[in-house]
Structure 1
Amino acid sequence: MALRLARRRSALETAPTASGSAALSLQRNTMRRNELKAPGPDPLRPEARLRWRDHFTLSENVLHVPGMHREHDGLRIAHLSDIHVGQATSAVRIRRAVAEVNAREPDVIFLTGDYVTHSPKPLPRVIELLAGFNRPVFAVLGNHDHWVDAHYLRTGFERLGYTVLQNEHRVVQVRGAPLTVLGIDDGRTHRDDVEATFRGAPESGTRLVLTHTPPTVEKLPENGNLVQFSGHTHGGQFVVRGLTEAIFRRAGQPYIQGHYHVRGNQLYVNMGLGFGFGGPYLRRGTYPEVAFFTLRHAEAASAH
């Protein structure tokens, strides 16, 4: 199949940091919109150019993390959030995102909630569309998942071999060293329990936190060299400079999109794969995102 990939750059700025030092930096490339044209058969949408609603953006990020295992220098992560399967999100977009993640072969894949919106009808489609990842998957649930059917989603993902974490953690061997993945349940529905999540977990090494709502970062152990991956905000969904930030701050959501330093830890807020671009929920100034990360030991930042 002959494929031509055209990319349009968008001047999307990294969100400002809340605290931290220059050594704890994130290097983020400009966003790219992927446009797939298939002169031959396309298994996702045969013999047709993709519609606007099928597009998403890729972000490539480098995170310098102090205290992590040296064996994890160069570790690769893929992060998807807020997929909202149903009429709000193109199924082709979701399938293409899964294929793009598999093609890049990250070490681990993180999913941070809101796989549905309001209706239970798309529940079987969530499991169908998100099946097939070829690397270890760790997932947490979001507020919409709890409002619809959290039990169905957890058991469905577990049937796929994915690890779903609800105020619990797992320690897995990756690249010859232990990686601690801490999954905190949704804060929007007040199901988050940071103490239970960290109970018995290693207190050092490479420790990555998954949770749907970004403000949970303020509850993490201070100066823990932790990296939290979240979603929930859709990058602001409809961004009007100054106004959107003020509304989100008033709603208790000061972290809208991109990278932050908070109380000696790091936070990345994914703009979410779902909504907008042809669906009933408009996006402005924000794009459906699949984020990739390369972890670097903090000393590597000093060397450069």
Structure 2
Amino acid sequence: MRSLERDPAEATSMIDLIQPLANRLDTLFAEPLFRILLLAAILLAHFGLRLTFYNRLNSMGWKRATIKRIEKIAFAETWITPFVLGWIFFHPILSWLRGEARLEVLPVGVLAYAAFCLVMGGLFGFLWLLWRPIWKIQHVSAKRDVQVHDVSKQTGLTLARTRKCRWAAKLPMNQIFEMAVEQIELPVVGLPEKLDGYKIAHLSDIHLTGQVAPDFTAHAVSIATDWSPDLIALTGDIVDKQPCVAWLHGLFSPARAKDGCYFVLGNHDTRVSDPDVVRDRMTDAGWIDVGGKIETVSLRSLECQLLGNEWPWFTRPNDPFISDESIDFRLCLSHSPDQFDWCRRNGVDLMLAGHTHGGQGQLPLAGPILSPSWHGSRWASGDFYRSPTTLHVSRGLSGVHLLRIRCRPELSLITLRCPGS
């Protein structure tokens, strides 16, 4: 059996690889101030890589208990690793920061980890900067008219049902009850002329947890219906808590649209004992379940397909059944924007999604950081185009996290437009 001890040749090879880099860093960062900045960059990369892992972890279709267990371990490791290394090697690090020693005073393993953080952190950091909303890469320029509804003040109702929610609502800058009703003129490449001006009310991420009164959702459904849309779409995460299933009929049965109201489920709908009960209650309320299905519908006398993509938590349509050349327009309701490439492969013209909540909070200029997506915060919210698919991602109406900073809940009232019309 091979010895568990490191082969001396392997250790020498690693030293030969790390040592020149350490010597170069010593030369480039000779001044104490520069060394402090280098250490700060390493720490920033360490935390950035953990954030990257967190975003990808929460895009997986694994069981919630598994994800939460890994999440807790990862969170602990995020803080323990730099603390332990700092504690053990405090004096060598301090001597290096003061310019009194070279990096060779630190073990090769520590230097290797620091190099890993700098290289991988630099790579992911570059990609993160590249997809910031300020650069508008792959973004669609859509005209928006935004009206902010302070729902609690406008309805005169107390929306916070629990002490936790009342406390959260009082936090400075928290916008959980400031609903942004966004009327969007969305240009869609490949849109048939007959569908120019077609109106879709898009709701997402209702998150009935019992923390927020159902009146908040009822207000959104009422506004969407009063807008007289041609179609209403709901893209998942409807119920989190079993008792709230009883609210569904009363909340969603008043919704009306000329061509119908359609829905799919999301990952949080797996938290009730039987997600099929959610489907049944929504169907009883007059909504059409397209989860994992293909519905051929007539929209303004055009033959169109409505696709429901609930992957990776439930199902999505089989690719071979989608390629019908007689179809004039394809609309996909997907809970996660991660299905963007799937829609592109299948010739979807317009994809509506949610799930990412706009990042739950957004920094000035930099935009969102947190986003449960395999692509991080790249498609956290907004309008995007990658041939042949236009994607609209809603920030959603609510969430289990009772905090929204510079990221208001969103009700999207979308009017489809032919580009250049």
Q: Does 1:286 align with 2:407?
A: yes
Native 8 Å contact 1:35 1:55 kept in 2: yes
Native 8 Å contact 2:145 2:184 kept in 1: no
CA positional deviation for 1:49: 6.7
Native 8 Å contact 1:67 1:225 kept in 2: no
CA positional deviation for 1:224: 2.9
Report the TM-score when normalising by structure 1.
0.77
Q: Match for 1:261 among 371, 385, 391?
A: 385
Q: Deviations over 1:32-51 (max 9, x none)?
A: 2124699xxx9xx5xx3776
Partner of 2:40: none
* Deviates most, 28-37 or 78-87: 28-37
* Deviates most, 81-90 or 198-207: 198-207
- Any residues of structure 2 matched to 1:105-184 within 5 Å, and which? 105-117=228-240, 119-135=241-257, 136-148=260-272, 149-184=274-309
**1:288 partner letter:** P
Q: Match for 2:148 among 9, 26, 33?
A: 33
- Local SS of the residue matching 2:142: strand
CA–CA separation in structure 1 for the residues paired with 2:298 and 2:326: 16
**2:310 partner letter:** D
Q: Does 1:273 align with 2:397?
A: yes
* Deviates most, 28-37 or 91-100: 28-37
* Deviates most, 240-249 or 213-222: 240-249
Partner of 1:3: none
Using a 3 Å threshold, how does the CA distance of structure 1 residues 58 and 142 change in structure 2: closer, same or farther? same
- Any residues of structure 2 matched to 1:1-304 within 5 Å, and which? 17-19=136-138, 25-35=140-150, 48=156, 54-117=177-240, 119-135=241-257, 136-148=260-272, 149-187=274-312, 189=313, 191-196=314-319, 198-199=321-322, 201=324, 204-222=327-345, 224=347, 226-240=349-363, 245=368, 247-248=370-371, 251-253=374-376, 254-275=378-399, 281-298=402-419, 301=420
CA–CA separation in structure 1 for the residues paired with 2:215 and 2:363: 29
CA–CA separation in structure 2 for the residues paired with 1:197 and 1:113: 25
Structure with bigger helix share is 2
- Local SS of the residue matching 2:363: coil
Native 8 Å contact 2:200 2:415 kept in 1: yes
Using a 3 Å threshold, how does the CA distance of structure 1 residues 63 and 250 change in structure 2: closer, same or farther? closer
CA positional deviation for 1:134: 1.4
Gaps of 5+ in 2: 1-131, 160-168, 170-175
- Local SS of the residue matching 2:202: strand
CA–CA separation in structure 1 for the residues paired with 2:320 and 2:209: 31
Q: Which has the larger radius of gyration?
A: 2
Using a 3 Å threshold, how does the CA distance of structure 1 residues 59 and 96 change in structure 2: closer, same or farther? same
Q: CA RMSD in A?
A: 3.1
Using a 3 Å threshold, how does the CA distance of structure 1 residues 201 and 152 change in structure 2: closer, same or farther? farther
- Local SS of the residue matching 1:182: strand
CA positional deviation for 1:138: 0.7
**2:396 partner letter:** G
CA–CA separation in structure 1 for the residues paired with 2:134 and 2:366: 15
- Local SS of the residue matching 1:82: coil
Using a 3 Å threshold, how does the CA distance of structure 1 residues 105 and 249 change in structure 2: closer, same or farther? closer
Report the TM-score when normalising by structure 2.
0.57
Q: Deviations over 1:212-244 (max 9, x none)?
A: 000101122349361110000111012235877
**1:121 partner letter:** P
CA–CA separation in structure 1 for the residues paired with 2:281 and 2:275: 10
CA positional deviation for 1:17: 4.9
* Deviates most, 105-114 or 266-275: 266-275
**1:269 partner letter:** V
Partner of 1:10: none
- Local SS of the residue matching 2:221: helix
Native 8 Å contact 1:58 1:292 kept in 2: yes
CA–CA separation in structure 2 for the residues paired with 1:14 and 1:151: 37
CA–CA separation in structure 2 for the residues paired with 1:123 and 1:197: 35
CA positional deviation for 1:109: 0.1
Q: Once the two structures are aligned, what percentage of the paired residues are identical?
A: 24
CA positional deviation for 1:178: 2.5
CA positional deviation for 1:155: 1.0
CA positional deviation for 1:246: 5.0
Would you say how many aligned residue pairs link Structure 1 and Structure 2?
A: 271
CA positional deviation for 1:258: 0.6
**2:304 partner letter:** L
Greater RCO, 1 or 2 (C-alpha within 8 Å, sep 6+): 1
CA–CA separation in structure 2 for the residues paired with 1:175 and 1:153: 30
